[in-house]
């Protein structure tokens, strides 16, 4: 059963990469206050994720913030070192909080995991985005196929 509009996001410890190295943060601390946009990708450094999905949020950062978004976060079932390196590679800076769900615990708690074993990826996150207000899912955008029509920043801007 996957998370739905009106549900509170599960509180799971995940990681982010800071100047001090990998740091644990709870999903409630990262996403539970104000308006947050969380988008998830199947893998850091993968083509669609690197060429389109993450860049859409970096490019639209100011527009999202102007509509009241206080946190923009990218989630992937990767380790914090990979997420930190990917953020640096993509020149994310402070525009997007890079969240590492290394064991997939948060993704599984959301019910949004996918099996990418056929591609050598193992269990990963489905591509999705959600608008969260004070820890409650207000909108959920799931990709049913390849691409970022539902979960890209442009669609989120239209929904805010």
The radius of gyration of the chain from alpha carbons, rounded to an integer in Å, stands at 14
CB neighbours of residue 80 within 10 Å? 21
CA 131 to each of CA 25, 77, 96, 104: distance values in angstroms, whole numbers, following the listed order: 19, 20, 14, 20
74 has catalytic annotation: no
- How many Å apart are CA 139 and CA 160, to the nearest integer? 9
Largest separation between any pair of C-alpha atoms in the chain: 41
**Residue from 105, 34, 32 nearest 75 by CA:** 105
Among 40, 49, 73, 153, the one annotated catalytic: 49
Residues with catalytic function: 49
């Amino acid at each position: 059963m996957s998370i739905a509009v009106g549900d509170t996001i599960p509180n799971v410890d995940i990681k982010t990469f800071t100047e001090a190295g990998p740091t644990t943060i709870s999903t409630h601390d990262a996403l539970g206050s104000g308006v947050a946009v969380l988008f998830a990708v199947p893998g850091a450094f993968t083509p669609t994720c690197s060429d389109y999905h993450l860049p859409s949020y970096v490019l639209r950062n100011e527009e999202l913030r102007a509509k009241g978004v206080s946190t923009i976060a990218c989630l992937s079932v990767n380790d914090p070192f990979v997420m930190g390196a990917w953020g640096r590679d993509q020149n994310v800076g402070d525009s997007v909080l890079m969240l590492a769900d290394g064991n997939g615990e948060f993704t599984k708690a959301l019910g949004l995991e996918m099996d990418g074993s056929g591609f050598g990826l193992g269990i990963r996150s489905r591509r999705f985005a959600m608008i969260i207000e004070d820890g409650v899912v207000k909108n959920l955008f799931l990709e049913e196929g390849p691409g970022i029509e539902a979960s890209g920043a442009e669609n989120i801007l239209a929904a805010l």
